[in-house]
Amino acid sequence: MGDDRDTELADTLAEAGRRVGQAMTDALERIQPVFDAIAEVANRPEVRAVIERAERAMRCRLCLCFCLRAHPADRGICEMLDAVITGRYSSDLLGDADVPLCAPCAAARAAHEFAR
């Protein structure tokens, strides 16, 4: 007698599990095209470019070059949001400090330094 009820319970659980599993599969199948669409869009070159630019902007470092003083001759070259190297900034006020610099600024500083 008790056995019957256990079997029934087991069946019910198995059935419930099967339905949940089916529902999950259905749901996944239903959103799969959405994922595919996103993946497809994300792989398009123009979208990739936007994403890459956004990623770069998110981890961007500000160039703290003080262009006017460091390389007055090449003022317009600074890529302000694209600091890639750490340079040394010497000032009377702060002493020597490490500052992020963008590539063109670093080059201009080196040239300026060299010309001196």
Which residues are at the interface with Zn ion (CB under 5 A)? 63, 65, 67, 78, 102, 105
- The beta-strand segments (E) located in 39-94 are 83-91
| Residues forming beta bridges with residue 88, ordered by sequence position | 98
CB of 94 to Zn ion, least distance (A): 17
**Cβ-count burial of 71 within 10 angstroms (0-12 exposed, 13-18 middle, 19+ buried)?**
buried
Closer of 14 and 57 to Zn ion (Cβ): 57
Q: What is the dihedral of CA 81, 84, 87, 93, to 10 degrees?
A: 20
Nearest-Å Rg of the Cα atoms of the chain is: 31
CB of 95 to Zn ion, least distance (A): 20
CB of 64 to Zn ion, least distance (A): 8
Closer of 63 and 89 to Zn ion (Cβ): 63
Closer of 34 and 114 to Zn ion (Cβ): 114
CB of 115 to Zn ion, least distance (A): 15
